[in-house]
Amino acid sequence: MTISLSRPDNPIERPGPLLVVIADGFGCAPNDPSNAIAQADSPRIDALTTSKLSRELLAHGTAVGLPTNGDMGNSEVGHNALGAGRVFAQGAKLVNKAIDDRSMFDGQAWTSVIAAGSTGTLHFVGLHSDGNVHSHTDHLYAMLREAAASGVTSCAVHILHDGRDVEIRSALRYIDATEAVLAEINAAHDGANFRIGSGGGRMTITMDRYGADWPMVERGYNAHTHGIGRQFASAIEAVETMYGESDSGDQYLDEFVVVDGDGAPVGAMANGDGVVLFNFRGDRAIEISQAYDDVDFPYFDRGSNPDVNFVGLLQYDGDAFVPTNYLVEPPAIDRTVSEFLCAAGLRSFAISETQKFGHVTYFWNGNKSGYIDESLETYIEIPSDNVEFNKTPAMKLIEITEQTIDMLRSGDYDWGRLNFPNPDMVGHTGDLNATIEAIRVLEDCMDRLLEVIDELGGALVFTADHGNADIMYTEKNGVKTPLTSHTLSPVPFAIYDPTNEDTLELANIEDAGLSNVAATLVNLLGYNAPNDYDTSLLA
């Protein structure tokens, strides 16, 4: 299909630019004490999200391409839907299908890594939970059983504790479940030695993203590959010991290695071994994939660096071909809204800090790195601080806001998009008071942006990619348990357009979701939306 847009007879016009604000993790939930958004004093946002040009949008489950409506949305699939204008089958759904129809196990990548594991050890590395945001233990168990059935006798699992997309301290439950599967396999297959080799918290080792903290990846690589880390007789002993030493949630636990009676690591890698990264989401899988896959790897010294056969569950970056070999094809997202708007010659910017920069660029652009048209686009990344985000709940919102204001006032852009990350990143810490403060800072920044929109005669769209800060804890029998995961809540959508507010109306679309936003943006910029895009939210 041709990438072009047509103009209606009476296009929507205004003197100034259009700004799209994505408040990451800003969900719509009942006003109760666990809702950091409701507890924060935010009159400007409240007025925006209760205006006549506001509504709620679905941001989870099948509305964003996930298998069921019990699956929480996440930043990856949320930004895919916002930028694509259509719903594409996403990570977990693709993997489920590939397991069910056995296409995963019939492919060359699986055959190759099984061959490596059959002569040495097969290793599985990944987030160890059923949170279904980055990974799912059902996928791990299916591959473990298939590997054993295919003749692999030596297998080491390297687990990354979650405590973020699932309960804050649930690692022991997942270890018990995995140990049961490993015991089942060892009992059913002569000579099988399937075991847990190493682990640590997802925010301490391995799962960095966007180059924010390479030492974190190095710690994970050394634990999984070389068996470097605090030694324990079992994963259960490691977690129980660390629980007794601090109040940290699972995601912040230090790295560990499991050793035998002689103190030797049971999961260290050797030349010729096979390695499978069983995460399906891309952002926190790219860097560890590079550490195993890149011949000329510049970010840290990999030591002896055994020559392993590495595969990812998916290819996490299709433009950079990371990793080279993978088990399941990722969704092919084409004809994104930015491609159409570039084809129309509209000038744009995208801005966030490191933690969410890839979301308003890579994921928004359909899992593609780099510019669509560098002559028309400007991408701004503000470096994130390597801290626990409840310690700095403002994160880089002020810097993002100031640079956005400069770009809006420059007159160089027709539209722009930004991601405010702190409702999500601070929300993930489970710290209610810090998250309330994060929303207060967001309110201040929104107030400044709306003033500039008024000044320039522009328009602003306010939305989010999924919920998080809207439910900060659960309560049972008077006991409050921090909720660090995303939520199933819908998200707000609101248009602020003083020039056209008297003529604009929202359509009555049942079950509208994030994929309806792209067509709306095209309309607000004065064009007819592509025919195959999900319906515009404008009447």
Give the residue numbers marked as catalytic.
75
Among candidate residues 274, 277, 271, 276, the one with its CA nearest the CA of residue 307: 271
Please give the angle made by the CA atoms of 399, 402 and 408, to the nearest 5 degrees: 140
Cα–Cα distances (Å) from 439 to 28, 286, 353, 418, 434, in that order, read 13, 30, 17, 16, 9
Does residue 518 contact residue 493 with C-beta atoms inside 8 Å? Answer: no
Among candidate residues 523, 500, 511, 467, the one with its CA nearest the CA of residue 72: 467
Rg (CA), the chain: 24
* Measured distance CA(88)–CA(65) in Å, rounded: 5
* Measured distance CA(265)–CA(539) in Å, rounded: 63
Does residue 427 contact residue 468 with C-beta atoms inside 8 Å? Answer: yes
* Measured distance CA(253)–CA(239) in Å, rounded: 8
* Measured distance CA(492)–CA(467) in Å, rounded: 10
Q: Both tokens of residue 157? A: 């699992």
End-to-end CA distance of the chain: 26
Burial class (CB in 10 A: 0-12, 13-18, 19+), 527: buried
Judged by DSSP in three states, 293 sits in helix
Among candidate residues 211, 179, 407, the one with its CA nearest the CA of residue 290: 211
Judged by DSSP in three states, 270 sits in coil
Does residue 412 contact residue 346 with C-beta atoms inside 8 Å? Answer: no
